[in-house]
Structure 1
Amino acid sequence: MSNSDRVDSQKAPEPVGLYPHARRVGNLLFLSGVGPRERGSKKIPGVELDAQGNIVSYDIETQTHSVFRNVRYILEEAGSSWDRLVDVTVYLTDMKKDFPTYNRLWAEYFKDVPTPPCRTTLGITALPTPIAIELKCLATIGD
């Protein structure tokens, strides 16, 4: 790999715009925003949409598991891993309702990581696709 490489996962959902899943710069891996969509389909785990594509209902727990799985896919395909995450920015569309569930799942996923990543959680009004959560991550890679 060169000093600045594009990473395109074969398992994570396709980006919704002109950007890579991640970029490696030196020993750092910068991930683009990662949501819960599934690769190769318009299916969003834990989301029920109406005929116009508006969210009718959603399950933040299902979406969070899916987002974490997609982040893992990108990390592993780039040569990094879950325990090498350094910083995570979390975007939630309903902070009041979803933060307690998200926070509980975070604790479960990182309970065996000696030094969990730093985290910032933001409540926002909307995301580019009909999802309730997105993660922006920074990890280390290599030695």
Structure 2
Amino acid sequence: MSPNGEAFIFNPSAPEPPTRYAHARLAPTTQHRTIYISGIACVRPDTGEWPGATPKADGSGGYDLDVRVQTAAVLENIDNILKNATAGKGGVQNLIDAVVYVVDMERDYAGMNEEWNKVFPTRSVAPARATIGVKSLPDPRMLVEIKAVAVVEM
């Protein structure tokens, strides 16, 4: 069984789709803790750096934004949060549910999903997921934010 429990996939014999998520996850039945992760952005909590948000060279005050770099950084931040909150017993692979907020679905969904699929290569290990297009996020440097729930055996 995967560290995030058992995947329920409505048609497990169907080929892997381009978007990797389980239709549902059954939490492990062993002694575990459920961890609710706030909406997390790409900003590094220890350094304040913003991966995937580079100030424009023209000095306009704007940013060149990269959803792939940001998504990878968000998932890494979530992994670090879980590792630290569980004394190393958990990580991003323990996610059972996630909500991904994307500022521009047409422009950014595919890039976000490519990075997601690197972390979760099959539906059998991917958490349940919803992806929602939003008008904006709390900081203009943010293209993606992920809120999640994890289950970690203790």
Q: Which has the higher contact order (CA 8 A, sep 6+)?
A: 2
Q: TM-score, structure 2 length as denominator?
A: 0.67
Aligned equivalents of 1:42 and 1:108: distance in 2? Answer: 25
Q: TM-score when scaled to structure 1?
A: 0.72
Correspondence 1:62-141 to 2 at 5 A: 62-79=69-86, 80-111=90-121, 114-130=124-140, 131-141=142-152
Give the greater-gyration-radius structure (CA). Answer: 2
The alpha-carbon deviation at position 43 of structure 1 amounts to 2.5
RMSD of aligned C-alpha atoms? 2.1
- Name stretches of at least 5 consecutive residues in structure 2 with no aligned partner: 1-31
SS in structure 1 of the partner of residue 39 of structure 2: coil
Aligned mates of 1:77, 1:28 — CA distance in 2: 14
Alignment of 1:3-82 (within 5 A): 27-49=33-55, 55-79=62-86, 80-82=90-92
Number of positions where the alignment pairs a residue of Structure 1 with one of Structure 2:
117
